Every structure is written in C-alpha cells, then in structure tokens.
C-alpha cells in the first residue's frame, strides 16, 4: 500500500506542480494583458492630449486671426469715417461759397473748360438774386467761343452748376465733383493721413 500511497502522493505532487505552473502562467498572461491595456490607455491618453494640443493651438490661432481681422476692420472703419468727414467738410465749404466766390469759381471753371457754342446754365436757387449780373459777368469774362444764353435757378441743385446744350447736360454740381475727385485722390489722402 505504501506504493499506492507513494503513487498518489506523486500524482498529487505532480498535480500541485502543474497547478502552480498553470497559475504562474495565468498570472504572467494577466500581467501582460494588464500591462498591454495600461500601455494602450497611455497611448490613447497621449493621442488625446496631442489632439487637444493641436486643436487648442488651432483654436488659439483662429481666435488671434479673428481678433486681428476685427481690429483691422475697426481701423478701416475709423479711417473711412475720417475720410468721410474730410470730404463732407470739403463739400460743405463748397456749398457755402458766398456770391462773389461763386461768381469767381464759375468764371474760372468755364474758361478752363474751353467750350464752344451757346449754353444754358443752371445754378442753385441760393444764388437766384445774382442771376442778372451773373449773366452779364459771364458773357463779358468768359471766352468769346462760349456764350451763356440764360441762367436758371434750380431747387434741386445745391451747389456748383449744370451746363445745358441741345438737351445734353454737363454736370458740375459740387456733389458730383467731390465724388469724382474722391475716387481719384482717396488713396493719396489716406496715405497722407494714416502712413
């Protein structure tokens, strides 16, 4: 029986060794799995952090760009307001010429135009009281090639004048002239003021 007991002890001993071996391998496998999962979690965490850094940097750059654009637009609006004020003030000064200044302006401008023929002249109704003397002055001081047949006041014309010949109108109203000049010199004025 002692052989039998030795055999059972040997089987139990072998089983115990096998059990420890299986448990040790299971522990090793579980540790590998845990380490792999920890490594995967760390990789995932790094990817998330990197993505967050990139997205944060992009968001920061977008915000900076948006703020710079807003600042640029505000500066442009301020410059536009200053230019508007300058040209509005210029127009206002032209619209408020006294009668002598207006007559001088009219004679000078008509002489510079170098027109030929007979024309009608529209002026602001603000100057309607000088029409008779204006007609005499213009025809005596303007080139012999140009004859002003009549001068009419207009409630629609705020300043400047309009020439008319055979249904064709040449508009020298101050509003039109300032708008035209503004298109030509606005860039230069802007450079003088803001550079």
149 with 139, same domain?
Answer: yes
- Look at residues 81, 96, 111 and tell me which one is the last residue of a structural domain: 96
Counted domains in the chain: 2
- Look at residues 75, 96, 117 and tell me which one is the last residue of a structural domain: 96
65 with 44, same domain?
Answer: yes
Range of the domain at 173: 98-194
26 with 53, same domain?
Answer: yes
At residue 12, the pLDDT reads 82
Q: pTM score, two decimals?
A: 0.60
- Look at residues 34, 61, 96 and tell me which one is the last residue of a structural domain: 96
89 with 123, same domain?
Answer: no
Residue 140 vs residues 107, 129, 137: alpha-carbon distances, Å: 10, 19, 5
CA–CA gap between residue 50 and residue 33 (Å, rounded): 25
87 with 107, same domain?
Answer: no
User: In the chain, which residues have pLDDT < 50?
Assistant: none
Q: Are 156 and 171 in contact (CB under 8 A)?
A: no
88 with 107, same domain?
Answer: no
Burial 161-195 (b: 16+ CB within 10 A, else e): bbbbeeeeeeebbbeebbeeebeeeeeeebeeeee
At residue 19, the pLDDT reads 83
Report the CATH number at residue 177. 3.30.2320.30
Helix (H) / strand (E) element for 70: namely helix 2-95
11 with 81, same domain?
Answer: yes
At residue 1, the pLDDT reads 60
């Amino acid at each position: 029986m002692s052989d039998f007991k030795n055999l059972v002890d040997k089987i139990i001993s072998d089983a115990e060794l096998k059990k420890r071996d299986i448990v040790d391998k299971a522990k090793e496998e579980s540790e590998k799995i845990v380490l792999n999962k920890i490594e995967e979690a760390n990789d995932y965490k790094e990817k998330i952090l990197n993505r967050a850094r990139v997205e944060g940097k992009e968001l920061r750059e977008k915000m900076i760009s948006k703020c710079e654009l807003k600042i640029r637009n505000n500066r442009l609006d301020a410059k536009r307001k200053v230019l508007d004020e300058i040209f509005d003030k210029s127009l206002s000064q032209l619209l408020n010429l006294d009668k002598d200044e207006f007559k001088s302006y009219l004679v000078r401008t008509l002489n510079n135009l170098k027109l030929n023929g007979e024309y009608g002249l529209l002026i602001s109704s603000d100057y309607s009281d000088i029409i008779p003397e204006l007609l005499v002055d213009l025809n005596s001081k303007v080139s012999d090639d140009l004859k002003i047949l009549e001068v009419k006041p207009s409630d629609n014309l705020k300043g400047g004048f309009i020439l008319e010949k055979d249904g064709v109108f040449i508009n020298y109203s101050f509003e039109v002239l300032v708008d035209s000049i503004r298109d030509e010199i606005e860039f230069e004025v802007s450079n003088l003021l803001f550079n």
